[in-house]
Structures are given as C-alpha cells and as structure tokens.
Amino acid sequence: MDFNMKKLASDAGIFFTRAVQFTEEKFGQAEKTELDAHFENLLARADSTKNWTEKILRQTEVLLQPNPSARVEEFLYEKLDRKVPSRVTNGELLAQYMAEAASELGPTTPYGKTLIKVAEAEKRLGAAERDFIHTASINFLTPLRNFLEGDWKTISKERRLLQNRRLDLDACKARLKKAKAAEAKATLWNDEVDKAEQELRVAQTEFDRQAEVTRLLLEGISSTHVNHLRCLHEFVESQTTYYAQCYRHMLDLQKQLGRFPGTFVGTTEPASPPLSSSSPTTAAATMPVGPSVAGLAPPGEAALRLEEVSPPASGTRKARVLYDYEAADSSELALLADELITVYSLPGMDPDWLIGERGNKKGKVPVTYLELLS
C-alpha cells in the first residue's frame, strides 16, 4: 500500500514538473531542446503520410460503399470482430426487379424479353462490383487501415515518450542552472550541484535513447510508402479489371438488344440512331451503338456496299485491336485482340464506327475496340 502511494506521488510529481516545463516553454520563460532539421523533416513527413492516408482511406470507403448507413454498419461489425453480412449490390437488386417485372408483364413480349436480357446483364454487373469491392478491400483498404491502427499508433506512442523525455531533460537543465546560480551566491552546497548534474546526465541518456528509437520508426515511413505504392498498383489493377468486365457485359447486351427484331413495337417507322459526338476522332469517350442502328449511311439512305468501298487517297491509319470482337453480320469485320488493321472513315459514317481492312477482308469496326496509332 505504501509503495503504491509513493509511486502515485512520484508520478504526480513528474507529471506536474513536465506540465510546468511545457507551460513555461509556451510562454517563452524556459529554454527548449530543439531537434535537428533532419528529425523535424522526418516528423513532418510522417504527419503528412498519416493525414493523407486517412483521407484516401475514407474516400475509398465512400467509393466502394456510397451508403453512409451501410458504412457505419460495416464499421461496427469490424469493431465487434464479427463477419459483415453479405449485402446485395444495387445492380443485383435492379436485376431482381427487372426479372420479376418481366415475369408479371409477359416474358414473351418484346418488353419482357428485353427486361430479361437487361436483368441478366445487371446481375453480371452486380457480381463484378462485388468482386471488385472484395478485392479492393483486401488489397488496398486493409493495408492502409493496418498502418493507421498499427504502425502509426506505435510511432505516436514513441513520439509521446520522446516528448516526455525532452521535457524531463529541459527540466533537469533548468534545475542545474538554478543550482549553479545558487552556488555562486554561496547559498547552496556543492552536493546539490552534483546531484543536478547527475540527474541531467541520466535525462540526457534517456532522451538520446528515445530519440534514436523514434528516429528509426520515422525513417520506416519510406518502407510504408513502398508498401502503399504496391497496394495502389493492385487497386488500379482491380479497378481496371472491374471496368473492363462492365464494358464487355454492356457491349454484349447492346449487341443482343440490337439483334432483337421489333424491339420497339407500336411504330412502323425505323428507330432513329442515337445521338453521338460530332468529332469522328474520339476513340473511347462513348459506347458504340448497336450493330442494327450503326451504319455507313444516314437514316433513309441506302447503305453503301462494302465491295464498292475503297480507302480514301489520304486519311488511312493503322490501329491496334484492344479486345476480341465478333462480327454481328456480314457488314462487320471480326477482330482479334492485339492484331493490327488499317482503318479509315467515309462521309456520312457514324463516328463510333470505322471501315477496317485486314488483307482482302473489310468491314465496319467499332472505334472503342481500337487504339489508333499515329
């Protein structure tokens, strides 16, 4: 009991001494041991890393889960160390509604058939989104969170210890200064000065030891950057895979819808082609329109015959194929990824399409499947 009381009294005394030293430093009434410029740069770099990691982590969480209530729920499950329940994605929920609507409105009608096709595509989009969220959480969010909850907490703890050691050191310096001033006035015995000098040596040793520990941890921030860089590459890869899957699913859906005869019932006039960019040089800004509405000639004019098409005297370019493409009909040219073809445009063509030639074969090709080479 006496030992505990003495320890509490000692701790209270140390806390009070540090508080006094800190307050006097703030008011310029006490000297402060300054860290060297390299150490200060390490501290600033660590703080910047922590602050930006927090912001990137929070915004990535918003990107993966826009619903704030769902984010709070997931956070609580994680804190309780419980498995987060599986949640239906918005795409999957939309697919469910569309499938139910088709069942009730008539799965054999043009509208019902289209609802079923779109529902299947939305379901695939939802599954792709689920895979992306899972991969991004493991490969990107978890490492960032581990840094903030692990390494950064250790760094913060050692920095607080260093701050306390510095305050103790400066308090010892102040006591020694006062002891020497009193000795000069012959009002203090030499053993008080010796005691103050001994306390200062101990405080200096403890401060130097703690400064070295903290410095090593701060220099480890470089390794943290390397790790976060690797995680960032993996995040980009997973996001690229996700968007590529979505793009392929929608292209497949678009081709299926374009092949549906009489999809737009109730009118005897052909559907007008969708509006597109007026610039034929845009390669990847818009999705290609379906094969049934993308043609070589404007609505109401006869389509050009491929055998009559010849490349212009100037304006042909080489293009690398980005993805495999299955021709929808004889007017289109099937493509294989990574092959090189010659492409050119003709007056009146839909800007989302070009004429492609490979050997003695030619046909329409979607611009978004190509990388135009200079």
Q: What are the pLDDT digits (tens) for 264-300?
A: 444 334 334 443 333 333 333 333 433 333 444 444 3
Model confidence pLDDT, tens digit, residues 196-237:
889 999 999 999 999 999 999 999 999 999 999 999 999 999
- DSSP 8-state symbol, 140: I
Considering only the top CATH level, what class is 31-258?
mainly alpha
Q: What pLDDT, on a 0 to 100 scale, did the predictor assign at position 269?
A: 40
pTM: predicted TM-score of the whole model, two decimal places: 0.61
Amino acid in the structure at residue 176: L
Amino acid at 272: S
In CATH, which superfamily holds the domain spanning 317-373? SH3 Domains (2.30.30.40)
Residue 292's pLDDT is 38
Q: Do domains 31-258 and 317-373 have the same CATH topology?
A: no
Q: Which two tokens stand for residue 179?
A: 């002891």
The tens digit of pLDDT for each residue in 335-349 reads: 998 999 999 988 888
Domain extents in the chain: 31-258, 317-373
The dihedrals phi and psi of 351, each to the nearest 5 degrees, come to -65, -15
| Average pLDDT of the segment spanning 176-192 | 73
Which residue pairs, CB below 8 angstroms and at least 24 apart, start in 107-114? Answer: 110/260, 110/262, 110/263, 110/264, 110/265, 111/265, 113/260, 114/257, 114/260, 114/263
